[in-house]
Amino acid sequence: MSKLFLPQSYVPVLNLRQTEKAVKQLKDFFESGLSSELSLRRVTAPLFVLKGTGINDDLNGVERPVAFPIKDMGEATAEVVHSLAKWKRMMLAEYHIETGYGLYTDMNAIRPDEELDNLHSIYVDQWDWELSITEENRSLDFLKKVVNKLYRILKRTEFFVYENYPDLNPQLPEEITFIHSEDLLAMYPDTAVKERERLITQQYGAVFIIGIGGYLSDGALHDGRAPDYDDWTSETTPGHKGLNGDILLWNPVLDCALEVSSMGIRVDKTALLRQLAIRHLESRKELMFHQKLLNGELPLSIGGGIGQSRLCMYFLKKAHIGETQASIWPKDMMEECKKHNILLV
């Protein structure tokens, strides 16, 4: 409850029935744009994967996956996915998807260690996407090019929502602003990371923060990233590292920066070995996914995840992610939300 933010005089623009309809319309429109803009084929995704294969996303390395034994497979353990960051890259190879094309899927995950608040749920729904690229594409310029494509989809989606629901006025700026996490630290050296994000996103409206996962000049991380999917150590510009980042949008309803996407150019063999060493996780080299990558069986790629419920939150101007998805919440949180016109589905 301590992290629940209750906007003063909050009145949802859409009622519950309208919201359910708008969520479906919004998701269909965005998904179509994502597929066409990035040349992505839709594929079916797993809800769980086998433990010990290295396929599951380890997030920050401390979050516990939901796991269960499989009776008809000798009690082998399956884990509910945290995300499909590594599985998608394997599917690029499995489907023999050519360079310049890719895939996307509806990803549903359970993250039981999330701290529940306006933005975080134990149920995660996102579009996971992955695009096959060339060696020449492993650059900061190409990363920015893809981010700009995603931002164009966001702009079109915002207008689509406005056309259908005129009370939901557009608020995205014309362009997204790029800034490196090291530059952000230099701008606000005595400020905590989340406050830095809030300040820069409030200033520009839409921001892509580059370089998430590597150590900054103060010895800290901007945020955690697993060492075996995003490349957060490659040299890109003098004094800067990282070929990944987060898309943040300013959310005036909650007076905060709203992260809607985490993405990046994926590790090649060199970056994988370097980042495993930095995290002291060299033992992962023996896992199935890592062996495939080290043996050259996986294509170079760029990919990411885009939060479905968070996008709906943003475009429908909701105060709680529970207004756009069905999940489980503490009883006292539900009661407080109801008192403040926040109707959880």
- Catalytically annotated residues: 57, 111, 126, 246, 259, 262
Cβ atoms of 37 and 69 closer than 8 Å: no
Q: Check the CA dihedral 254-256-261-262 and report its sign.
A: negative
DSSP string, 54-77: S-S--TTS-PPPPEEEEGGGTTEE
**Cα separation, 306 vs 87, whole angstroms:** 16
Name 137's Cβ contacts closer than 8 Å, sequence gap at least 6.
265, 300, 302
Closest CA to 300 of 222, 198, 231, 215: 231
**Cα separation, 225 vs 207, whole angstroms:** 19
Cβ atoms of 298 and 291 closer than 8 Å: no
Neighbouring CB atoms inside 10 A of 187's CB total: 13
Cβ atoms of 204 and 193 closer than 8 Å: no
Closest CA to 263 of 92, 149, 130: 130
Cβ atoms of 254 and 201 closer than 8 Å: no
**Cα separation, 232 vs 210, whole angstroms:** 9
For 17, 22, 29, 33, the CA distances from 156, given in Å and listed in that order, are: 24, 15, 9, 8
**Cα separation, 89 vs 103, whole angstroms:** 9
Closest CA to 206 of 153, 278, 274: 153
